[in-house]
């Protein structure tokens, strides 16, 4: 309960009130353990990284925290926030046992190599613990940098101020196995420190082009989250995936409030949530909100592929009382299929719209294209199975339709 209440407040607050920009989320591994290392400006750093890592991975990270903090009622809060107590006076072996357990469980371990908060440049000399943890466990190190959090939660302050932080992540770093262990750890530390130093320069720069690119990359991560949620192999709860995607869309808009990519993914998420809505008024409101969002995108970019697909699906699924039109579904999905290349989802949706309009022969052609398309994953193979079943029901087959195409071409 403590964890739910805390993150229910901190995650929206971080995104809406305290972030000025975030880049490099695409560098965060979506699965598997790693050690995240960053400069350390404030206790607010914890909440910022917790929010960003949850958006990408859908799970909590572990934060090394001095054991003295786990006293009285505060212990409940630290436990709930997945803080890991470390006794700085304990033997190194005891600390390694703690970090080994975290990384063996597949979690992210967040460590600040400066060892203490440092709200002023330059960075303090790095300690090597984080790099020993990573090398020992055989996991990558992900460098990150942030600035501005020292204005959100200042030293000695118990309540946050309305400051704004900027965050940047770099590509994962792995240990050079050709070096001796001591040299390997030192090399990993040096490369991480150099990367964080460079990332700090990034967070201080206000580059509109870079912010636009960061927004697009963040939306791409959100799209991957949604695709995973529909893969048929995902083990994470659907609600968590939708929370992740919503968080990532909001993060993209921090960088680029007018992002068309973010608008499309937001509309897509709204549609998926509408499908799961049990209350009719909620479902209707989400359906209408989805249409409005897609309409705004297509006014600015009539060839936006996913927007065309979503608008086509909307007209196919929405009742006529809300404005659903089969002819509009066919028009948008035909356009989407032409732009979508080998991705059979567009041909399948086009076929469904044609069937709904009673255009059997055209539907057979579209279903045949689904069957003949590449099938690189389970979701695509299942789509092909549905297409074969539809062809069988219609009395056609992929081979028969292909033969008809050949005859027509020869004629």
219-260 confidence digits (pLDDT tens):
999 999 999 999 888 999 999 999 999 999 999 999 999 999
- Model confidence at 87, pLDDT cuts 50, 70, 90, reads confident
Tell me the pLDDT band of 409, cut-offs 50, 70 and 90: very low
Q: Does 117 or 95 have the greater pLDDT score?
A: 117
Find out whether 282 and 270 touch, Cβ atoms under 8 Å: no
- E strand or H helix that includes residue 142: strand 141-147
308-342 confidence digits (pLDDT tens) = 999 999 999 999 999 999 999 999 999 999 999 99
What does DSSP assign to residue 373?
S
* CA–CA dist 259, 255 (Å, integer): 9
SS3 169: strand
- Beta bridge mates, 84: 64
- Give the chain's mean pLDDT: 90
Question: 347, 365, 354, 374: which is closest to 402 by C-alpha?
Answer: 365
Domain boundaries, the chain: 2-205, 256-410
Confidence check: pLDDT of 404 > 50: no
User: For residue 410, what pLDDT band results from cuts at 50, 70 and 90?
Assistant: very low
CB-neighbour burial class of residue 88 (10 A; exposed 0-12, middle 13-18, buried 19+): exposed
What is the pairing mode between strands 141-147 and 165-169? antiparallel
CA distance 110 to 57: 14
Cα–Cα dist 218/231, whole Å: 20
Second-level CATH architecture of 256-410: Alpha Horseshoe (1.25)
Q: One fold for both 2-205 and 256-410?
A: no
Which of 36, 195, 53 has its CA nearest to residue 110?
Answer: 36
pLDDT at 400 over 60: no
Taking only Cα atoms into account, the Rg of the chain, rounded to an integer number of angstroms, comes to 25
Confidence at 1, pLDDT banded by 50, 70, 90: low
Provide the pLDDT for residue 58.
95
- pTM (2 decimals)? 0.88
Quickly state the pLDDT bin for 395 (edges 50, 70, 90). confident
In whole angstroms, give the CA distance from residue 310 to residue 314: 6
What whole-number distance in Å separates Cα of residue 218 and Cα of residue 355? 36
CA separation for the pair 136, 364 (Å, rounded): 58
pLDDT of residue 160: 84
Distance CA 21, CA 215 (A): 9
Q: For residue 168, count other CB atoms closer than 10 A to its CB.
A: 28
Q: What is the mean pLDDT of residues 64-79?
A: 68
Give strand pairing partners of 62. 109
**Percent of the chain's residues with pLDDT above 90:** 75
319: helix, strand or coil: coil
Full DSSP string of 284-307: HHHHHHHHHHHHHHHHH-TT-HHH
Q: How many CB atoms lie within 10 A of CB 307?
A: 26
Least Cα distance to 327 among 311, 339, 307 occurs for 311
Inter-axis angle of helices 344-356 and 305-317, nearest 10: 30
Q: What is the pLDDT of residues 166-178, one digit of tens each?
A: 999 999 999 999 9
State residue 406's pLDDT score: 34
Opening angle at CA 29, ends 235 and 198, nearest 5:
160
Q: pLDDT tens across 100-155, in order?
A: 999 999 999 999 999 889 998 899 999 999 999 999 999 999 999 999 999 998 87
The residue with tokens 């990359």 is 217
Q: Evaluate whether 25 touches 99 at the Cβ level (below 8 Å).
A: no
Residues 152-211: pLDDT tens digits? 988 777 788 889 999 999 999 999 999 999 999 999 999 999 999 999 998 988 788 999
Q: How confident is the model at residue 76 (pLDDT cuts 50, 70, 90)?
A: low
CB 90 within 8 A of CB 76: no
- The residue-averaged pLDDT of 262-275 equals 96
Give the model confidence (pLDDT) of 21-63 as tens digits. 999 999 999 999 999 999 999 989 999 999 999 999 999 899 8
In three state form, how does the secondary structure of 189-218 look? HHHHHHHHHHHHHHHHCCCHHHHHHHHHHH
Looking at residue 90, what is its pLDDT?
Answer: 61
Tell which residue, 282, 339, 337, has the closest CA to residue 313. 337
Class of the domain covering 2-205 = alpha beta
The pLDDT of residue 399:
47
Cα torsion for 127, 133, 136, 137, to the nearest 10°? Answer: -160
| pLDDT of 305 strictly over 90 | yes
Got the DSSP string for 61-125? -EEEEEGGG--TTHHHHHHHTTEEEE-TTS-HHHHHHHHHHHHHTT-EEEE-TT-S---SSSPPP
Please name every residue paired with 63 in a beta bridge, in sequence order, or none if there are none.
Answer: 83, 110
Backbone CA torsion sign across 356, 361, 364, 368: negative
């Amino acid at each position: 309960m403590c964890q739910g209440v805390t993150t229910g407040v901190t995650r929206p607050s971080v995104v809406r009130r305290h972030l000025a920009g975030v880049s490099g989320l695409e560098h965060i591994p979506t699965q598997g353990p790693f050690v995240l290392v960053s400069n350390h400006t404030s206790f607010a750093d914890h909440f910022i990284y917790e929010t960003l890592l949850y958006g990408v991975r859908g799970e909590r990270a572990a934060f090394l925290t001095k054991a003295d903090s786990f006293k009285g009622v505060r212990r409940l809060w630290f436990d709930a926030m997945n803080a890991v107590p470390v006794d700085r006076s304990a033997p190194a072996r005891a600390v390694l046992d703690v970090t080994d357990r975290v990384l063996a469980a597949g979690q992210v371990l967040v460590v600040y190599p400066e060892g203490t908060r440092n709200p002023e440049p330059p960075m303090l000399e790095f300690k090597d613990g984080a790099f020993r943890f990573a090398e020992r466990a055989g996991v990558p190190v992900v460098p990150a940098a942030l600035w501005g959090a020292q204005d959100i939660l200042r030293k000695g302050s118990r309540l946050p101020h309305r400051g704004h932080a900027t965050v940047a992540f770099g590509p994962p770093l792995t240990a050079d196995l050709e070096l001796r262990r001591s040299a390997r750890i030192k090399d990993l530390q040096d490369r991480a420190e150099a990367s964080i130093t460079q990332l700090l320069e990034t967070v201080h720069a206000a580059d509109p082009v870079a912010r636009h690119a960061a927004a697009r990359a963040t939306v791409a991560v959100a799209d991957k989250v949604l695709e995973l949620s529909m893969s048929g192999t995902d083990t994470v709860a659907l609600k968590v995936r939708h929370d992740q995607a919503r968080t990532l869309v909001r993060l993209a808009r921090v960088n680029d409030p007018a992002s068309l990519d973010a608008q499309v993914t937001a509309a897509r998420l709204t549609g998926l949530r509408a499908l799961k809505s049990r209350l009719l008024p909620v479902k209707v409101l989400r359906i209408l909100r989805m249409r409005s969002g897609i309409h705004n995108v297509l006014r600015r970019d009539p060839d936006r592929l996913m927007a065309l697909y979503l608008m086509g699906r909307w007209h196919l699924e929405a009742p006529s009382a809300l404005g659903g039109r089969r002819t509009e579904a066919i028009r948008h999905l035909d356009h989407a299929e032409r732009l979508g290349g080998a991705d059979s989802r567009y041909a399948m949706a086009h076929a469904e719209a044609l069937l709904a309009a009673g255009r059997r022969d055209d539907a057979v052609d579209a279903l045949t294209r689904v069957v003949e398309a590449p099938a690189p994953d389970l979701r695509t193979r299942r789509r092909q199975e549905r297409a074969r079943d539809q062809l069988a029901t219609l009395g056609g087959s992929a081979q028969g339709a292909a033969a008809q195409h050949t005859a027509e071409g020869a004629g």
